[in-house]
Structure 1
Amino acid sequence: MNVVLNVDEVQAILARVTGAVLDNVTLSPEGQAAIREWRMHRSPGTAEMDDFTLVLNEAIGNHIDERTNRMLRLKGGLYVTERGVRS
């Protein structure tokens, strides 16, 4: 499976997650300000948001790859899976 999010999709996720944290977690005023500042630096069109989008896409891809079993049939009936080799 291949999932690639664009900058707008990542911005929407970022807004929902940080909003949920700010609304539902008891934080000090300094903690809330730090989250808001972190989010502000990742506005659409900034280099930080572009970098964050790349990192998030890589993390999602790695998460999916780690949980996906793959099988490949090679000549002679050998199957290779993520967890090892069997004939």
Structure 2
Amino acid sequence: MKSDPLNFNVFNIIVEVTSAYGNVGFSMGYSCKRRLNPEGADCVDKWYGFAGSWSTEGKFILIIVMFFGRLKRYNMNGGKAWKLY
């Protein structure tokens, strides 16, 4: 997060994890143009979303979150809509 704060910020991570839990498939994306130091040949724009630029451990945790989101209806209180009043 320190080396690339415009792409790896708390909001983008929360949106990605919430989308994974809800099995929505929404991603904020990753762009080399949003880097603070865009010079360098190590950054290449790819077709995958924001989670594609995560580490292997981060991707594995996101996969586990997706499974928990998919299996939430088998929970005792899962699968019910939230009441926002």
The alignment's TM-score, normalised by the length of structure 2, stands at 0.35
Q: Which has the higher contact order (CA 8 A, sep 6+)?
A: 2
The structure with the greater share of residues assigned to strand is 1
What TM-score, normalized to structure 1? 0.34
